Amino acid sequence: MMSAAGEEAQVSTHPSRIGKAAGKAVAGASTAAKAASRRINQGWDDYPEESGGKGGQVLYGCGDGVPKDATYINRLKSDLANSYYWTGGFCQDYFFFVANWHPLVGIFACHPNHPWSKFERLEMFLISLAITMVPSAAIGAHFRNDGDSMFRMRTPLIIAFVTVPDIVFGVILYQLAIADSRCPNLCGCCLDLIKKCTIVWVAIFALAATGISYFILNSAKVSWAALFVPLCEGRLISFLTWFPVWLILPCQLGYLSLWCSERKAAEKAAAASEQGAKAGADAADRA
């Protein structure tokens, strides 16, 4: 049997053991929290001033982009997907906006680090083509005779069933493509997997649409050329109307609205920084 002195000694050590265990638990939790914080904030540093700040990140086409391990890479990708204000010049920023956002121009001219890569843009361009093939086939098969009184309905039908769906699907696919840039360090992998799975299912649907289009054209005994005319016409209308629509869209959706809003925010931040620097200089002079 344990002596009374031994029991007292064991009891007396219990609080210290509990304290040490609690201290280790707190230290472990603190370390884990710091690691999680570093992971969340990784890649979100400010743009380096020596490279021109945010305006110095304006790049086009297939040139060398920013290294993937850059300390501000996530900030850059997020801004490429959501920001319109870069250099402060309206025209220069608009050209950069078109290069990154236009569904056709962006395939060739988008920023090398854009979260919506050139391959994804081409892939989604082909998918959107396939999705609009069925209405194009139906229009081409039944509205192909210039002398038909219903032929005048051809262009409105192309706009309603080819151009508009193309724009809607383009916006949806774009948001899907850049979803992983909104939370890259925590759920980027999951969002990327969802994106790939969705694209696979859309591609399967596109193949089915191709088969349906063939059935429509074959039933009407017309060639594939009857499909391509309304399809190309609808895409052309979509590409051309993109410029005025995305220029004047309100509520910080279009270029003009969001660019002006970001410019005001940048000017306000610059004024606050200048005021803070002036106050610091005055305090130093008084000291």
Average pLDDT estimate for 226-231: 84
- Of 31-45, 133-147, 257-271, the one with minimum mean pLDDT is 31-45
Largest CA distance in the chain: 114
H-type helices in 102-150, by residue range?
105-109, 118-131, 133-142
Is 223 inside any structural domain?
yes
Nearest to 203 by CA among 120, 107, 116, 81: 120
Could you tell me the two tokens for 253? 């959706």
Is 12 inside any structural domain?
no
Contact between 223 and 217 (Cβ < 8 Å): yes
pLDDT for residue 14: 54
Task: Please give the full DSSP string across 226-279, using - where no structure is assigned.
Answer: HHHHHHHHHHHHHHHHHHHHHHH-TTTTSHHHHHHHHHHHHHHHHHHHHHHHHH
Average pLDDT estimate for 104-117: 90
Task: Please give the full DSSP string across 1-37, using - where no structure is assigned.
Answer: ---HHHHHHHHHHHHHHHHHHHHHHHHHHHHHHHHHH
- Return the percentage of the chain with pLDDT > 90, whole number: 20
Task: Please give the full DSSP string across 170-219, using - where no structure is assigned.
Answer: HHHHHHHHTGGGTSTTTSHHHHHHHHHHHHHHHHHHHHHHHHHHHHHHHH
- Of 77-91, 171-185, 194-208, the one with minimum mean pLDDT is 171-185
| C-alpha distance from residue 174 to each of 4, 81, 225, 266 (Å) | 75, 9, 29, 26
Pick the more confident residue, 30 or 85.
85
Is 285 inside any structural domain?
no
pTM, full prediction: 0.74
pLDDT for residue 221: 81
Is 184 inside any structural domain?
yes
Average pLDDT estimate for 207-217: 84
Give 43's pLDDT tier (boundaries 50, 70, 90). Answer: confident
Chain position carrying tokens 């649409």:
209
Count how many Cα atoms sit within 13 Å of the Cα of residue 176 in the half-sphere of its side chain: 19
Is 21 inside any structural domain?
no
Q: Is 88 helix (H, G, I), strand (E, B) or coil?
A: coil
Q: Please say if the pLDDT value at position 121 is more than 60.
A: yes
Domain containing residue 73: 52-267
Phi, psi of 183 (to 5 degrees): -145, 65
Using CA atoms of 278, 280, 286, 287 in order, give the dihedral in degrees to the nearest 10.
-160
- Of 37-41, 113-117, 282-286, the one with minimum mean pLDDT is 37-41
pLDDT for residue 154: 81
Average pLDDT taken over every residue of the chain? 79
pLDDT for residue 1: 46
Average pLDDT estimate for 86-105: 93
Over residues 129-139, the pLDDT tens digits come to 888 888 888 88
Could you tell me the two tokens for 230? 């309304």
Query: What residue type is 166 in one-letter code?
Result: D
Q: How many domains does the chain have?
A: 1
Is 154 inside any structural domain?
yes
Count how many Cα atoms sit within 13 Å of the Cα of residue 192 in the half-sphere of its side chain: 12
pLDDT for residue 85: 93
- Return the percentage of the chain with pLDDT > 70, whole number: 76
Average pLDDT estimate for 256-273: 91
Computed over its alpha carbons, how large is the radius of gyration of the chain? 29
